[in-house]
Amino acid sequence: MSSKAAEYLPHAKKCAEAAERTTNPEVREMLLKVVADLTAAALSAASSGTRAPKPGSQKRARERG
């Protein structure tokens, strides 16, 4: 998992916990939207390949291409 994804998930969890505790439906809806946005951002960051490439992988790709 990328470091960005790892940053988003704890915040999403805290928002979800706050949404469970609140009695205000408008606040709950807002928090759940934030949870969805943070989760989507984490998934996007995790799948975008934001990890550092393996040493030499760029050179091998150029040699093949």
Say which residue the tokens 């998930």 belong to: 9
The pair of structure tokens assigned to 45 is 């960051």
pLDDT at 35: 97
The pair of structure tokens assigned to 19 is 């949404």
pLDDT at 52: 44
Rounded to 5 degrees, φ, ψ at 24 are: -90, 115
Residue range 6-58, pLDDT digits in tens: 899 999 999 999 999 999 999 999 999 999 999 999 999 888 865 544 556 55
pLDDT at 63: 54
pLDDT at 4: 81
- The answer to whether residues 43 and 5 touch, using CB atoms and an 8 Å cutoff, is yes
| Residue 27: CB atoms within 10 Å | 13
- What secondary structure letter does DSSP report for 26? H
